[in-house]
Chain A
Amino acid sequence: MSDDQPLLDEFYVDAVAEVLNVGMGSAAASLSEMISDEVKLSVPAVEFVTRLVAANHISDKAKTDVSGVHQNFTGAFGGDAMLIFPEEQSLQLVRAVLQQDDMTLEDLTEMEQEAMTEIGNVILNSCLCSMADMFGKEMRGEIPEFVHGSVQQVFSDEGGLAHTEAIVLLLNMDFSVDKKNIQGYVTFLMDVAEVKQFKLSIQQFLGE
């Protein structure tokens, strides 16, 4: 796979973005209900990139460590879904959701990590569900877990995909809650075989 050839045509990417936005809408509704406050989620950009490009892209934005939620998924196609925030943004997000602006601690506490996991879980589940709906296929999501570390650490922690050449569906995500705007990323890591399956599913969805 060469760099100058897109992994997926723009056409497909737009379709994915549209679907994911539906998922985000559903996640936002769930979160709003959970915290009794309006939460808005949007996906301004979606792209397919190599794992390295994805890592570099996130590193550029996040100078510090990142926090996130990792969730494995299987089914029509399998991979690792991840919600990633720069550390500072993750703190802001959790504290905005928990409405704990006066928190003294500089790191996410154990319970905050747990809350973060639930928030990530809601978002990732929504994204996966929307894709499952789109493809009319069953997908299974595993129990999510909280991850923290440098971008490289977080990306290399991907168990089974660590050694394969993975493709990343990278979503820039805007999170708006309690008058705060927080930028994060959702990534879906799939190996090449899974990407082919993914592409096939899209084609079927589009009736091609």
Chain B
Amino acid sequence: MSDLDILDSEFIFQHIFLESESGLIVIDLELCLVNWNPWFTKHSGIDFNDVKTKNLIDIFPVLKKSSVERGIISALKNCMSSVVSHTLNRTPFPLKKITGQVLQQQIMIKPISLNNNKRFCLIQIIDVSAGVNREKQLIEQANRTKAISEKLAEEKERAQVTLNSIIDAVITTDEQGYILSMNPVAELLIGVTEEDAQKKKVAQIFKLIKEETKEPISCPVVTCLQSRNTIANEKEHILLGRAGRYSINDSVSPIIDDDGMMLGTVLVFRDVTRARALSAELNWQALHDPLTGLANRRQFELDMNTLLSKAKSDSFQHHLLYLDLDQFKVVNDTCGHDAGDELLQQVTQTLERKLRKSDVLSRLGGDEFGVLLESCDAQNALAVANNLREAVDTFRFGWQTHSFKIGVSIGVAEITGEEAKATEILSAADAACYVAKQSGRNRVCFHETSPSASLTHQQEMKWVSRLQAALDNDCFELFLQRIQSVRCQEIESNHYEVLIRMIGENGDIIPPGAFLPAAERFNLIGSLDIWVVENVFKKLEQLRINKQQPNNLTLSINLSGTSMSNIDLLNRINELIDISDTPAETFCFEVTETAAIANLKQANEFLSSLRSRGCKIALDDFGSGLSSFAYLKELPIDYLKIDGLFVKDIAIDNIDRAFVESINQIGQVMGLETIAEFVENTDIMKILTDIGVDYAQGYGIHKPRIFDHVFSAI
């Protein structure tokens, strides 16, 4: 190397020392400063000339016992190079950046040995501030990311815990219906663990059937994936779990991201087995009679509607029976409701024993029952009805010391399929039952449309038109039958019962037994009552005009049960009394015991109204209904008419006599006057005299005669 080269080289190295972008310090073996470069002057703020040849540790006392000092000694003494890291030695030299910030340093210490064996130490200081900041940011970023992932993990954990603790079963699936997760409730209900369910499609393990039909139902998750809509199901689904069957409510919601991509579904279902059982129980209660366990009226109507729609399409005959117990009221009122309830239960059992399994027996109300006879023709329906009637007739109800005989009146109606509503059939059967009751109870009556009853029907229909015509044309005649005072037998009493007879086309007299049932059944009885009342007044007016009016006249007029609720009739009677000269005391209105009891409240009001203005009231056919004397206290009556059935054999039957005696006695005690019917001979009359009955009536005393004839004779 030439001299010039050496000079150039030295010049270059000098420049490198001056221009270096790191700090360079050279010290000698005594640690005295040989030189430092402008970079170090700039960042330390100390002019080299001020400290030249000074001991470096004296210039920077902070270095004492530091890694830098150790490094310097190691370099000078042992010829070892050292690195002094920023991380382990935060600010070895007090250096600052031009911004005033602390300059972060990395220091390298190297021994320099010259040829003359003189040893120096080079200290190189590198600014690592940028790296330190970068790392600080990196760590902050990493910590933030860590915090976020911890939060996410925590939220996931919380969601997991929530899923694990809710009572709903939850299954999540991917967009193809493969199971991603199942919570413990879902595992329990399905009977498959989450692990076993992985990689399976929901449809493979979530199997549903309809509760009612047991038909399988397609998996709602599949439906949801296809429709992309929430599928909510409150219908009666049964889950076929491996461990058992559960009634469930289920719903599936799609998970769709912001871009409309289907990500999967969430299937939520709940075990409602208990709730549904409870609901079924409530349903049962709503449709059944708690006392007898039979279907109630509502259920019966539903059954009827089902049968009705069946009848519209099939060719079978179906029938409906309407049963009304006779004498139930008596048991209920004399022995209390407990007895009544017991009776109904026993009757239910009696009836059930006579029915087929397919027949539907229902309690329609108080003492009314209905029976649906599916695929049963009229003849069989009639047979079933009669079987039931006989069963009830022979049944005896015992309560404490009492024994009761009851009966049942049954109406039968056919379900033809032509009826619009179930209630139509029910009222037809009800009407038939009513007729059965009116016809003397404990019998079966077919409704008019039933083919087997067509003959009776036709005959009755004839009676309807004849009655209507007779009413229109006044083709009736009033008859009178004397009611004789037993005490004063020698004097003929002026007390008569008004009787009605129909005048036939040929002028023949038709007895009431022939037309009254039809009148009752076809609601003409009310018209007949009015006809009788009006004609009685007409006759009286005629007597007044003819001056044939006897003194102390009492006329007993029969009123039907239906008239008890006929306000028009009541008004008409009042009106007639008002305009008539005949005193109200002349009139006695008779109502049968059974009719009065059947409509006790209305009868009471009706009769009380008449009695309040002076009319007399008689309770007819007393004793035939085996009724309770308790009613006597309820009703506003003056006369008790003892049923003729007890009277006619009184001379030969001691029981009948005892009956009459007791009825008479009760009547007397209650301040009522008693009238015995069916007095057919003098023997009977004699006994009645002995018993002390007030009045007697019958063929043996006076045969009914035409109204006018009675008085013309007078």
Contacts and interface: CB of A to CB of B under 8 A. Distances in A.
A98 to B, nearest CB: 6
A114 interface: yes
A115 B88 contact: yes
B134 A75 contact: no
A21 interface: no
Interface in A58-109: 71, 75, 97-98, 103-105, 109
B135 A111 contact: yes
B142 A141 contact: no
B86 A114 contact: yes
B83 A129 contact: no
B81 A111 contact: no
Given A104-B142, A128-B78, A143-B83, 12 more contacts: A98-B88, A104-B145, A104-B146, A105-B138, A110-B131, A111-B131, A114-B86, A114-B106, A118-B88, A139-B79, A141-B80, A142-B110
Contacts of B111: 140
B85 A140 contact: no
Contacts of A42: none
B67 interface: yes
Interface residues of B, number: 32
A161 interface: no
B142 A105 contact: yes
A30 B87 contact: no
Given A30-B70, A110-B134, A111-B135, A140 B80 contact: yes
A132 B111 CA distance: 16
Interface string B68-89: 0010001000111111111111
A34 B85 CA distance: 11
Given A104-B145, A109-B138, A140-B111, A129 B78 contact: yes
Nearest to A106: B142
Interface in A128-157: 128-129, 132, 138-144
Contacts of A128: 78, 80
Contacts, number: 89
Interface string B125-167: 0001001101100110011011000000000000000000000
A132 B88 contact: no
A125 interface: yes
A114 B85 contact: yes
A34 B110 CA distance: 20
B138 A143 contact: no
A38 to B, nearest CB: 16
B108 interface: yes
A121 interface: yes
A114 B87 contact: yes
A112 interface: yes
B88 A104 contact: no
Contact of A118 (B65, B83, B139, B146): B83
A159 B139 CA distance: 34
Contacts of A52: none
Contacts of B85: 111, 114-115, 117-118
A35 interface: yes
Interface in B99-131: 106, 108, 110-111, 113, 128, 131
Contact of B88 (A34, A103, A140, A141): A34
B74 A144 contact: no
Contacts of B86: 111, 114
Contacts of A98: 87-88
Contact of A129 (B74, B135, B139, B142): B74
10 contacts: A98-B88, A104-B145, A105-B138, A114-B128, A115-B87, A118-B82, A125-B78, A125-B82, A132-B78, A143-B110
A111 B87 contact: yes
B88 to A, nearest CB: 5
A58 B70 CA distance: 32
A97 B88 contact: yes
A188 to B, nearest CB: 15
A118 B81 CA distance: 11
A144 B83 contact: yes
A35 B138 CA distance: 24
A139 B146 CA distance: 47
A144 B146 CA distance: 34
Contacts of A114: 83, 85-87, 106, 128
Contacts of A142: 81, 110
A111 B132 contact: yes
Contacts of B143: 104
A-B interface, 10 closest residue pairs, ranked by CB to CB distance from nearest = A115-B87, A118-B85, A141-B80, A104-B142, A114-B85, A140-B79, A104-B146, A125-B80, A143-B81, A115-B85
Contacts of A104: 139, 142-143, 145-146
A142 B81 CA distance: 5
B70 A141 contact: no
A172 B351 CA distance: 104
Contacts of A125: 74, 78, 80, 82
A114 B108 CA distance: 11
Contact of B79 (A115, A121, A141): A141
A114 B87 CA distance: 7
A119 B85 CA distance: 9
Contacts of B132: 111
Contacts of B131: 110-111
Given A110-B134, A115-B87, A115-B88, A141 B81 contact: yes
Contacts of B80: 125, 128-129, 140-141
A125 B85 CA distance: 15
Contacts of B89: 34, 118
A129 B145 CA distance: 45
Interface string A25-37: 0000010011100
A118 B87 CA distance: 9
A14 to B, nearest CB: 24
A102 to B, nearest CB: 9
Contacts of B145: 104
B148 to A, nearest CB: 11
Nearest to A119: B88
Contacts of B106: 114
Contacts of B142: 104-105
Interface in B601-616: none
A138 B79 contact: yes
Contacts of B134: 110
Contacts of A140: 79-81, 111, 113
A41 to B, nearest CB: 16
B564 to A, nearest CB: 99
A40 B85 CA distance: 21
Contacts of A122: 82
Contacts of A35: 88
B152 to A, nearest CB: 15
Nearest to A125: B80
A26 B78 CA distance: 14
Contacts of B113: 140
Contacts of A30: 70
Contacts of B70: 30
A74 B70 CA distance: 21
A138 B79 CA distance: 8
Nearest to A133: B78
Highest count of chain A CB atoms <10 Å: which of B65, B70, B145: B70
Contacts of A118: 67, 82-85, 87-89
A30 B68 CA distance: 12
Contacts of A117: 83, 85
Contacts of A144: 81, 83
Nearest to A145: B83
A142 B110 CA distance: 7
Contacts of A34: 67, 88-89
Contacts of B74: 125, 129
Nearest to B87: A115
A105 B134 CA distance: 14
A32 to B, nearest CB: 12
